[in-house]
Structure 1
Amino acid sequence: MKGIIKFMKLIVSILIIFTLFSKIFAQNLPDYLDPGEHNFDKAGYKLFIEKKRNPKLLKEYIALEKRNYDVLRYDLYMDWYDLISKHFETGNLLTFEASNKIQLVILENNVSFIELDAMLLNIESITINGQPSNNSNKKALGILKVNFNQTFNSGDTVVLDIKYNFSSSENEGGINVYEKGTPIELGPPPNYDTVFIEEKIAYTMAEPIDARYWMPCNDRPYDKALSSFTVKVPKGYTVTSNGLLTKKVDLADSSTFFWKHDYPVTTYLMHAAASKYHYYYDWYRRVSNPDDSIKIEYYVWEKDFQDTSSDGMTHNATYAFRNSVKMMEFYSTIFGEYPYERYGMDAVLDCWFGGMEHQTITTLHRNVLRKKNRWGGNADNGNQLVIAHEMAHQWLGDLITCASWNDIWINEGGAVWSETLWQGRTNPDNYNWAIMGKMQTYLYYNTQNVQPPVYAPPIDNVFNYATTYMKAGSIYHMLGVMLGKERFLEILREMFAEYGYKSLDTEEFKNFLKSKVENPSVDFDTFFEQWIYKAGHPIYMVTHSTRKNQADEFYKVNLNLAQLQEGDDIPNVFQTCMWVKFFGPDGIVYIDSLVNKDRIEQFTFTLPFKPDSLQLDTVKTLCQVYAYVTDVEDNSDNATVIANIYPNPSINKDKSFLSLELKEDSFIDIEINDNLGRKMDKIKSGFLTSGYHLFDIQTKNLASGIYLISIQSKGKLITKQLNVLK
């Protein structure tokens, strides 16, 4: 016993040290980037990916590779009695007996075998259409090859009944088991109370490719099937799963729960959890028919249900779920009626994710029930967004599902955008602040344009927070801006009707938009190429000049946009819809729009006032503004060349930029000279058309000092000073 006590003290000490360092790190982040309790543990996810996956298989898992059959139904039985009743300690085996009856249809002719995904599963027997399999069935590299007793042709139905057992010496991600009393982490300051597992718990977690760890299946997101879960557990435990509970059979020491789901579901959205849960529910009256109601069910530990504290230090389920019915009403109004027979949420601990949108039964990290995060900050808003995010997935991710992991942006981007819709449901300003936070979070992680494209992330980075979530959510937002939010929501409802209970890939998503909208401001092929298939975002340098018209009291404003982004797989030009705000005296604001289609482009506006400044609307378009430069030259009609340098001084930079605005076509000579008049470099010598031009001034090899940029045009010399500091 003393040894156990010493070990517990060591564990708690380590947790305290880790928490303090985590707190220090978190304090260095802006508030809107604080990851809080419930963003997934990316490092933890990558660790178990590396432990479990054969690298040769990873490319196959991420790609859309359809097999020669389509699963129609899974009927799964799992005997978790021993798994839960026996105490699990390190070195012991987690085991359970199971069977899976798989009904499928063949899609090709002359098929003599099929392949299923299966990991850590010991196959005991297979029957094919009720007959024992006469041929040997092989399992290698996670693939179960099922040899048929005959050949089948396209349209033939095959029923496999596979008996197997699961065996593992540790939690492998697919099956997670935690003993009651296990210390997990420290609670919020100032108490830093140790958080324990309140009741023994076992649950499945399949996203992205872990259903194969607890059932043989076609573990690819494009394949959806009807399903049932039958799970045997010790008496006193409750099992929740997809769909509806159709029956419960109690024996002297065990209970068996029969769950059935009458809507197609992909394997990574299948789920079962068992613990000594307190079960309660709310009623949601369907917005399409108030006489029809469904349950919103909650599965939480008794302690969390009974908690009524308001200080945020403990887990209070009733408070955390207070908005569930309102959220369901909201999403059913904007997306169309909730598409399933029931909705529920189960709380689990421990886990590396904040929430998981299992179809009809979302799984939440238990800390979503606690108002304070582990650093003592208020996490209530973030908790509500996790609940909203996972509920919105029931449409964007479950009703329509990414056909492959290449297309996961469809799921996660839609749910992130849906969070902001919930936040802005009563006030558009709240929506703008929320979406700006998503964009700024992406830019925070991608200041140097180093993040990969949204499309086809590597499997060990499939949950890339910057791109899979924040950038993808911003893409949904920009589609809503370009098409109009109400029109975009209408198109999504039509998409749900067309692809509901199915999967779709990125090209199908794009082509559906093309079928509904003619002549968008930016054509969809270009939009998807630059935002989905390519990396990065536009980085702008913005300059402008103002001239007063002599004939009237109006002002001519030339707005010059230069895109500066560069790098591998980053578009040279992003074609973007932009909005610009001109600010004048006495609080005057003039707003206009434009479509930027070139890397360097000039736009002209006529205003009834002289603007003091201008600003691109970076809430409507995901972009980064490198600099706003206001020309300070004589902007009368006599000025033929307007020039500016930015940044100036150039402090530890590899280059600055020279912007030129020419009133008319001209031959130009541009040189860099040091303060003794010695020529250091020639930037340009040649003919330039009227309009806006941008040149790089390479400063990487220049020593600290003062340099003169000389610009000769039509016999006139303009000199600009550049300060270089290193």
Structure 2
Amino acid sequence: FATANDEFVWGGMENQTLTTLCYGCWNESLMVHEFAHQWFGDMISPGTWADLWLNEGFATWSEALWLEPYNYTNYKNRVLNYAGTYLSQNPGWAIYNESWIENPPSNNVMFNYAITYAKSACVLHQLRYLLGDEVYFEAIKSYAEDTANFKFKTAVTDDFATKIGEVAGEDLHWYFDAWVKQPNHPVYFNEFYFTEEQPGSWQAHFLTNQVQSNAPFFPMDLTVMVAFYDGTDTLVRVRNMENNEHFVFEFDREPGMLYFDPNQDIVLKQATTLLSVPQFNTFTGERLLAFPNPAKEQVSFFSEVGFDPDAKFICYDATGNQVLQLTHLSGNKLMINLDGWKPGIYEAVLMGKNTKTTCRFIVVK
């Protein structure tokens, strides 16, 4: 290591085996960051400016990893600090921008701390959660030691994703395409409810929805914790690959509460999780659930027994005026586009030959 004079305007520079630090900057995190660049930056350099995150994301994440031998909480708190920096300072562009390959932007954009450093480090942390420690660290080691493709060479994002997927035994481009190549982050609006199917048998229903308007859907593994009235709890993990998914979990004891992402594994997010009350048909016990509720751009209705093809689905506004009628129903999910709907309270009515099931929902703008 060497220190520069006060004319050096950067924090540090990872020259091979001769790292330069700014004047008076002998702090542990900076030294760890620059030392990590000996592997991720020097030994493996980015193939293009669009792949710069493979440098700075790894070096920034390594700052957090350095703290883990003290205790995991120190590591996690540093990652959460990165996430907080990104969420509060997000300029709204993606980590990877293909246009940077031929036309790199200004340093202020390319080296934006919230994106290139903080968010990139969080993407690696979430990848660790996705794969688990054993596979994650094996994959990173394999990437660093791959002399045929990466070691003492360059790396681009798609090749990195392929390499990690090969070690993990699955195609992981879906993760990198969303979290690295899309801007912004998911905003979850989740709902849950519990039902007793028969004595000693309960179901926990978890409905997950992303409501962000500034980015497409972000697929991810989701963990929920279900707490039971007997004082026990359990973790359940599912892969969420499309919006408005409805997951059902079976239990032999009565659940009392459901918590979304209890360990804050998905740090690049905003989330609200609410207890929902399904509406019942008094005669048949059939449940009709609106989700999300309140709804903004679209609302989905779920019927556990499936929609009767001969039934009618009708929506009324608060004044009793009919605003929608659908027939020839099928499946157990019905999605309604809310373009043109006014904000307010609505009632959905499912009219069968001898049944009537209702469900109230709210439209907001």
TM-score, scaled to structure 1: 0.44
Match of 1:711 in 2: 349
Instruction: String of CA shifts for 1:41-67, please: whole Å, max 9, x gaps.
Output: xxxxxxxxxxxxxxxxxxxxxxxxxxx
- 1:628 and 2:234 correspond: no
Q: Decide whether the 8 Å contact of 1:547 with 1:557 is kept in 2.
A: yes
The alpha-carbon distance between structure 1 residues 434 and 541, as it changes in their structure 2 partners (threshold 3 A), is: same
Q: CA deviation at 1:634?
A: 5.7
For residue 249 of structure 2, what is the aligned residue in structure 1?
Answer: 605
Q: Which runs of 5+ in 2 are unaligned?
A: none
CA distance 1:535–1:391, change in 2 (3 Å): same
Matched, 1:614 2:295: no
Partner of 1:646, secondary structure, is coil
Shift of 1:426: 2.9
The answer for unaligned runs of 5 or more in structure 1 is 1-343, 370-382, 649-654
Q: Deviations over 1:302-351 (max 9, x none)?
A: xxxxxxxxxxxxxxxxxxxxxxxxxxxxxxxxxxxxxxxxxx13143244
Aligned to 1:240: none
Residues 672-723 of structure 1, C-alpha deviation per residue, up to 9 Å, x if partnerless?
514x3335x43866624225x5645458855xxx533333342415252648
**Aligned equivalents of 2:249, 2:275: Cα separation in 1:** 15
Q: Distance in 2 between matches of 1:362 and 1:685?
A: 70
Give the 5 Å matches for 1:139-538: 344-366=1-23, 368-369=25-26, 383-446=27-90, 450-456=92-98, 457=100, 458-460=104-106, 461-497=109-145, 498=147, 499-519=150-170, 523-538=171-186
Provide the C-alpha distance between the structure 2 equivalents of 1:535 and 1:585, rounded to a whole number of angstroms.
41
Distance 1:560 1:645, change over 3 A: closer
Q: What residue number does 2:201 align with? A: 554
Distance 1:445 1:423, change over 3 A: same
Identity %: 24
Find the aligned partners of 2:37 and 2:77 in 1 and give their Cα distance.
22
Query: Judging changes above 3 Å, is the alpha-carbon distance between structure 1 residues 711 and 403 closer, same or farther for their aligned structure 2 residues?
Result: same
Q: Distance in 2 between matches of 1:409 and 1:669?
A: 50
In structure 2, distance between residues paired with 1:429 and 1:586:
29
Structure with larger RCO (C-alpha < 8 A, sep 6+): 2
How far did residue 434 of structure 1 move? 2.3
CA contact (8 A) 1:546 1:610 kept: yes
CA contact (8 A) 1:547 1:635 kept: no
On the 8 A contact 1:579/1:616 being kept in 2, the answer is yes
Question: SS of 1:425's equivalent?
Answer: coil
With over 3 angstroms needed to count, the CA separation of the structure-2 counterparts of 1:710 and 1:603, relative to structure 1, is closer
The 8 Å contact of residues 600 and 694 in structure 1, kept in 2 or not, is answered as no
Hey, what's the Cα distance between the residues in 2 that align with 1:440 and 1:545? 30
CA distance in 1, matches of 2:330, 2:250: 25
The residue aligned with 2:360 is: 720
Equivalence for 2:224: 580
How far apart, in 2, do the equivalents of 1:694 and 1:630 lie? 21
2:237 is matched with which residue? 593
d(CA) in 2 for partners of 1:409 and 1:454? 8
Q: Does structure 2 retain, via aligned residues, the 8 Å contact 1:348–1:363? A: no
Distance in structure 1 (CA, Å) of the matches to 2:31 and 2:306: 60
Q: Is the 8 A contact 1:360 1:394 kept in 2?
A: yes
Inter-partner Cα distance in structure 2 for 1:528 and 1:723: 34
- 1:422 Cα offset (Å): 1.1
1:54-93 equivalence runs, <5 A: none
Q: SS of the counterpart of 1:555? A: strand
What is the alpha-carbon distance in structure 2 between the residues aligned to residue 347 and residue 684 of structure 1? 72
Larger radius of gyration: 1
Whether contact under 8 Å (2:226, 2:255) holds in the other structure is: no
Between Structure 1 and Structure 2, how many residues are aligned?
Answer: 348
More strand by share: 1
In the alignment, the residues of structure 2 paired with residue 466 and residue 668 of structure 1 have an alpha-carbon distance, to the nearest angstrom, of 50
* TM-score normalised according to structure 2 size: 0.82
Q: Is the 8 A contact 2:47 2:156 kept in 1?
A: yes
> 1:329-384 CA deviation, whole Å, 9 max, x = no partner?
xxxxxxxxxxxxxxx13143244432332222333333535xxxxxxxxxxxxx43
In the TM superposition, residue 641 of structure 1 has moved relative to its aligned partner by: 0.9
